[in-house]
Structure 1
Amino acid sequence: MDRSLISAVAHRWHPVAAPVSDDSLRRLLTRLVPPGAREALDLGCGSGAWLLRLLEAATGCTGVGVDTSAPALDAARAEARRRGLTDRVAFVHGDAAAHTGEPVDVVLCVGATHAFGGFAGTLTAVRRHLRPGGRVLLGDAFWEHGPGPAALAALGAVPGELPDLAGLLAEVDEAGFEPGYGHLSTAAEWDEYEWCWTGAFTEWALTEAPADDRAAALELARTHRSQWLAGYRGQLGFLTAVLHDVR
């Protein structure tokens, strides 16, 4: 099955494609947007949930979202129309790592650091798009505990592939950013995210998937559920942080 379709379907119930609740998202955005911000860029925007809510909170700001997933961008444009934001946002189909444009006041990159080869590469990339004194919202995974063999197997990871929280923040410091605020996803946020992922995909498999894809789709949902519950649950953490450019 196409990976873009899988992700778009799996995030129908939880368009914030990260283990972050609506209340946590609102707090992060309140602390993210600097006074007078005019332009925002979301690298790996998915269905646009972060960017669209930022634009609703910062009424003087316009935004651009970039993603490789056509289904996710279709959902983002539809949601922008529903929220009456089409005149203030553009969604671009393309590789976030190859995106070019004028510097902006705010850069978002949540759950998309793989597009830049990891966390350190993402910090380097977002700086290219940021005006001096701008702010970044960056979200990425880290090891909360362990990892044990089951967690590594579930994620197809190797020891040391992800840092712990202290290691993640050390990379922020080394790149010349100052953390201004951060949110550590709770166990409840993780559980809600994962149940929504597997639940939305299961419902799609049972009610919408082509007949030839139904069995494979159900098996994918079962596999993901098992990888979460028997693998990385309680070991994988997620940090979403507001970073200040201190150049």
Structure 2
Amino acid sequence: MDRRVISSLAHRDHPVAAPLSDASVDRLLDRALPRGDERLLDLGCGEAAWLLRALTPRPGARGEGVDTSRDALTRAREAARAAGLDARLTLHEQDAAGFTSPHVFGLVAVVGSTHAFGGLLPALATARTHLAAGGRVLVGEGFWEREPSPAALAGLGASHDEFDDLATTVERVAEDGWTPVYGHVSTQDEWDDYEWSWTGSLSRWALDHPGRPDSAEALRAATAHRDGWLRGYRGTLGFVTLLLRAS
């Protein structure tokens, strides 16, 4: 089963593809879009959950999303039409790192997708090229809550140098010419809800479709992910979402 299909199934019952609650998403968007009529861009938008959440209560806002997954963008368009938002949402099927636009944006979001750019600082460099004067960047990135054990690294399929601790992560951002104006560190409850939702949604799909040739593979993927989390990185991997202004 394609990894993008697994991810789509696993994220069906969670507000966004990151360990954030509904309340946290809304609070971050309220801070990020103070006027309510901004033009916003999501690089690596997936099914455009952030864009749909941003546009729904802000009739003056317009959004654009970029992603390489045709299936995810198809579902995003369907959700936008169902919500009556399709006239204010433009989606592009292409590599986000190479995306160009005639517009600049009051908010550029890169939440949980910095890996697509080669890391946090390259993602911020790309975001900067799209940013209007005085605009904001919303970036979500992992960090080490504590020194990762071999089991944690194995569960994530990650290397030790893939992330820094929280203080170092913020320092790197500041040294790169950004000023954090708000931030949210995902709580253990948010992480647990995200992981139970991820593994539960995928498992439920597999159990509901026993005749599908890929149902057994989906169930194995859910089980492996759950074991990697519970026996490995639970309490070790953190997630911070930063709202940034260019210094």
TM-score by length of structure 2 reads 0.95
Stretch deviating more after TM superposition (27-36 or 78-87):
27-36
Looking at structure 2, the residues matched to 130 and 68 of structure 1 have their Cα atoms a distance apart, in angstroms, of: 21
Conservation of the 8 A alpha-carbon contact between 1:37 and 1:105: no
Q: Deviations over 1:81-101 (max 9, x none)?
A: 222111100121111111111
Give the percent of matched residue pairs that are identical in Structure 1 and Structure 2: 52
Q: What are the residue-to-residue correspondences of 1:81-160 with 2, within 5 Å?
A: 81-101=81-101, 102-160=103-161
Looking at structure 2, the residues matched to 76 and 119 of structure 1 have their Cα atoms a distance apart, in angstroms, of: 25
Match of 1:67 in 2: 67
Amino acid at match of 1:43: L
Secondary structure in 2 aligned to 1:157?
Answer: coil
Stretch deviating more after TM superposition (233-242 or 206-215):
206-215
Looking at structure 2, the residues matched to 221 and 16 of structure 1 have their Cα atoms a distance apart, in angstroms, of: 18
CA displacement at 1:128 relative to structure 2:
0.6
Q: What are the residue-to-residue correspondences of 1:165-204 with 2, within 5 Å?
A: 165-204=166-205
Conservation of the 8 A alpha-carbon contact between 2:37 and 2:59: no
- 1:221 equivalent in alignment to 2:240: no
Secondary structure in 1 aligned to 2:221?
Answer: helix
Amino acid at match of 2:242: A
Amino acid at match of 2:115: H
CA displacement at 1:68 relative to structure 2:
1.3
Looking at structure 2, the residues matched to 209 and 81 of structure 1 have their Cα atoms a distance apart, in angstroms, of: 31
Looking at structure 1, the residues matched to 111 and 188 of structure 2 have their Cα atoms a distance apart, in angstroms, of: 18
Conservation of the 8 A alpha-carbon contact between 1:135 and 1:243: yes
CA displacement at 1:230 relative to structure 2:
0.5
CA displacement at 1:245 relative to structure 2:
2.0
Conservation of the 8 A alpha-carbon contact between 1:182 and 1:240: yes
- Where in structure 1 do 4 or more consecutive aligned residues deviate above 6 Å? none
Q: Structure 2 unaligned segments of length 5 or more: list them.
A: none
TM-score by length of structure 1 reads 0.95
> How many residues get paired?
246
Looking at structure 2, the residues matched to 208 and 33 of structure 1 have their Cα atoms a distance apart, in angstroms, of: 41
CA displacement at 1:116 relative to structure 2:
0.5
Looking at structure 2, the residues matched to 71 and 109 of structure 1 have their Cα atoms a distance apart, in angstroms, of: 20
CA displacement at 1:30 relative to structure 2:
0.8
Secondary structure in 1 aligned to 2:142?
Answer: strand
Shift of the 36–214 alpha-carbon distance from structure 1 to 2, 3 Å rule, reads closer
Q: Structure 1 unaligned segments of length 5 or more: list them.
A: none
Stretch deviating more after TM superposition (26-35 or 192-201):
26-35
Amino acid at match of 2:199: T
